[in-house]
């Protein structure tokens, strides 16, 4: 039986939180107050009922429990909770959704108590998986991760990816709370108030489920006590009322994302009755457990014989093993293709730093966000084509300041006979579009190895595109590569055309150089291994000293290397020609496909000669 005084205080806190949630939304003129009202007891009971452990003065404390609002539109509730804890003022709450305020429309890490940016539904539980994996298997800390979920977002496939993997890894430190308030944005959700349907589905995956009345503090507090004793991940399935506490809002459709007008706010506050603005909730302190610290050590040397071709995907795995001593917070996540991406090499060397995420790319990226937010450097690998499934998670990771490295193998038509379903042909464009991202495309094992190391050093999102087929070694073991750089591999004072390439097509360009050299047609060849940021200075120098630029890429023309180079050279008048994948790919040998798409040695030679013939015709007229 719960202590009566404790319950009375929690009721006062709920009233205050409801008042704040309504008032701040009205002040902003927008927001989701009704979605906040339905989960008020669920979250106030968590933070102030004794289960949640947190050091309010030090949000960075590694022992703090973690709270993620996957249901990010309930941000008025989220911010009001911290106000009820005494760390956010009423004045700050009234800056909700105003330009420059950290109290944003959906939570971002601009607000110091936000664990990860949310609001794009179906992502919070995956992030929670990453944080729970970190606590249980890496840092070995006692904190729990709690995730508030909306019933609408349970239709997202990413939720079920998360539910499966959490059971697989036995994450008994992960707690989901579904706010089953029946109403979504435009009407009733798929299951309405059928809480048993949620519980049965989730329980079938190996979770413990607890069905409660989400507005009954005795049931809420009892559920959190049970959580602490469970040996499984736990999902609390709470039946709630959208707009709870305000008669003209309760269980009414049409109020989603609608802030009350001033008159309606006055009516609502009268219904709430007396508000105790002085009441504050108390949060229990966390345990004081120190995570194991590993002192960084120097990386090993690169060793690749110059006479043996190596696939850059293989070099990726070897690079992870080589640099791990220097970056001991690294972890590797792979989508059940580690024997193809090269990540298996790291798995074999450091099995406790590798997480098999199976074929569930959205959850894999979300979990990487959670790991990154707990100080790890996740290297996330799969086929380049399949990362497109997780674009939303990748996009959102930026707003969490997540330090993640993505590796897409099997890129381009050069993978050969597997055909178009396996060919990453949009990946460069996709990652170039990400704010402040870095896009790297190594052409041999040495450059791949070095660029993996550079990616580990860099803070932020990095994408490395690797190749299925083995390619010749171009660089010595001591060659250096920097983000934003390039390599001029062939150059003379008489160069007529510059060919800019990366990856497989760089080797085609070098073969074209040799063929044209025999015909006394000098060309310049640039390895544009850093696609974003570009080495604009080198490109401009080439544009000023040769008549034309040809870009060659095993990627669709839209958003690829050609457009990147053309953008960098926009102020100049030099012609820029783009050889790229322009026809619908099909199965075939790599050589057949490179010829078919006109990105091969033969196509480059043909394009150079076409440009020279055109120049000669112009000169003769």
Query: Token digits for 436?
Result: 């402040």
Q: Is 361 a catalytic residue?
A: yes
Which structural domains are found in the chain, ordered by start? 4-272 (3.40.50.970), 312-465 (3.40.50.970), 487-620 (3.40.50.920)
- pLDDT tens profile 103-153: 999 999 999 999 999 999 999 999 999 999 999 999 999 999 999 999 999
Calpha distance 248→319 (Å, rounded) = 61
Does residue 368 have a cis bond before it (omega within 30 degrees)?
no
Task: Compute the average pLDDT of residues 367-379.
Answer: 98
DSSP letter, residue 359: S
Are the beta carbons of 44 and 97 closer than 8 angstroms?
Answer: no
- Grouping H, G, I as helix, E, B as strand and the rest as coil, residue 498 is strand
CA atoms within 13 A on the CB side of 576: 24
Where do we find the tokens 């009268």? 270
pLDDT for 293: 87
- pLDDT tens profile 7-59: 999 999 999 999 999 999 999 999 999 999 999 999 999 999 999 999 999 99
- pLDDT tens profile 210-263: 999 999 999 999 999 999 999 999 999 999 999 999 999 999 999 999 999 999
Mean pLDDT of the chain: 97
pTM of the model: 0.97
Residue 530: φ, ψ to 5°: -105, 100
Residues pairing with 488 in the sheet:
526
Calpha distance 142→138 (Å, rounded) = 12
pLDDT for 2: 67
Where do we find the tokens 């966000």? 369
Residues pairing with 492 in the sheet:
none
Are the beta carbons of 393 and 406 closer than 8 angstroms?
Answer: no
Query: Checking DSSP bridges between strand 208-213 and strand 66-69, what pairing results, if any?
Result: unpaired
Burial category of 288 from C-beta neighbours within 10 Å (exposed 0-12, middle 13-18, buried 19 and up): exposed
**Residue among 361, 453, 454, 563 flagged as catalytic:** 361
Burial category of 297 from C-beta neighbours within 10 Å (exposed 0-12, middle 13-18, buried 19 and up): exposed
- pLDDT tens profile 515-564: 999 999 999 999 999 999 999 999 999 999 999 999 999 999 999 999 99
Residue 607: φ, ψ to 5°: -70, -40
Percentage of the chain exceeding pLDDT 70: 100
Q: DSSP H helical segments within 491-553, as ranges?
A: 504-518, 536-545
Calpha distance 446→26 (Å, rounded) = 58
Residues pairing with 380 in the sheet:
333, 406
């Amino acid at each position: 039986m719960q202590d009566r005084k404790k319950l009375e205080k929690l009721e006062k806190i709920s009233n205050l939180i409801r008042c704040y949630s309504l008032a701040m939304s009205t002040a902003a003129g927008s927001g989701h107050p009704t979605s906040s009202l339905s989960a008020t007891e669920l979250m106030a009971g968590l933070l102030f009922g004794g289960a949640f452990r947190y050091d309010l003065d030090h949000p960075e404390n590694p022992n703090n429990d973690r709270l993620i609002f996957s249901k990010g539109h309930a941000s008025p509730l989220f911010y009001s909770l911290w106000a009820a804890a005494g760390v956010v003022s009423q004045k700050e709450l009234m800056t909700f959704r105003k330009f420059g305020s950290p109290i944003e429309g959906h939570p971002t890490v601009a607000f110091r108590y936000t664990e990860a940016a949310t609001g794009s539904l179906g992502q919070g539980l995956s992030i929670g998986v990453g944080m729970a994996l970190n606590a249980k298997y890496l840092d070995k800390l006692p904190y729990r991760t709690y995730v508030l979920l909306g019933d609408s977002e349970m239709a997202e496939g990413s939720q079920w990816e998360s539910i499966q993997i959490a059971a697989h890894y036995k994450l008994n430190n992960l707690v989901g709370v579904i706010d089953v308030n029946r109403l979504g944005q435009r009407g009733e959700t798929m299951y309405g108030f059928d809480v048993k349907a949620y519980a049965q589905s989730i329980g079938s995956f190996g979770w413990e489920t607890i069905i409660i009345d989400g507005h009954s503090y005795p049931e809420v507090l009892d559920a959190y006590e049970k959580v602490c004793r469970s040996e499984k991940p736990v999902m609390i399935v709470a039946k709630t009322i959208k707009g709870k506490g305000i008669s003209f809002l309760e269980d009414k459709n049409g109020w989603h994302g609608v802030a009350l007008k001033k008159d309606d706010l006055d009516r609502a506050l009268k219904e709430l009755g007396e508000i105790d603005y002085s009441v504050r909730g108390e949060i229990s302190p966390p345990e004081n457990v120190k995570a194991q610290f590993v002192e960084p050590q120097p990386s090993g040397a690169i060793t690749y014989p110059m006479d043996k071709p190596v696939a850059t995907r293989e070099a990726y795995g070897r690079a992870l093993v080589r640099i791990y001593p220097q970056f001991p917070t690294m972890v590797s996540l792979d989508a059940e293709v580690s024997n193809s991406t090269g990540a298996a090499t790291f798995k074999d060397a450091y099995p406790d730093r590798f997480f098999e995420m199976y074929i569930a790319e959205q959850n894999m990226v979300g979990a990487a966000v959670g790991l990154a937010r707990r100080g790890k450097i996740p290297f996330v690998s799969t086929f380049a084509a399949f990362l497109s499934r997780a674009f939303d998670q990748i996009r959102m990771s930026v707003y969490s300041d997540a330090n993640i490295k993505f590796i897409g193998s099997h890129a381009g038509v050069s993978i050969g006979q597997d055909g178009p379903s396996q060919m990453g042909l949009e990946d460069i464009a996709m990652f170039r579009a990400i704010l402040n991202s870095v896009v790297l495309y190594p052409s041999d094992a040495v450059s791949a190895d070095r660029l993996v190391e550079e990616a580990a050093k860099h803070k932020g999102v990095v994408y490395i595109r690797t190749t299925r087929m083995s390619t010749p070694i171009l660089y010595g073991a001591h060659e250096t590569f920097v983000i934003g750089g390039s390599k001029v591999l062939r150059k003379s004072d008489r160069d007529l055309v510059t060919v800019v390439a990366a990856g497989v097509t760089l080797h085609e360009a070098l073969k074209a150089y040799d063929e044209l050299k025999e015909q006394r047609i000098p060309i310049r060849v640039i390895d544009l291994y850093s696609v974003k940021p570009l080495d604009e200075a080198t490109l401009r120098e080439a544009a000023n000293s040769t008549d034309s630029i040809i870009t060659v890429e095993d990627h669709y023309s839209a958003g690829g290397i050609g457009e990147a180079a053309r953008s960098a050279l926009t102020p100049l008048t030099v012609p820029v020609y783009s050889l790229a994948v322009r026809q619908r790919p099909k199965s075939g040998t790599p050589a057949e496909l490179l010829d078919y798409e006109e990105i091969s040695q033969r196509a480059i030679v043909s394009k150079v000669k076409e440009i020279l013939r055109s120049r000669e015709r112009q000169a003769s007229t």
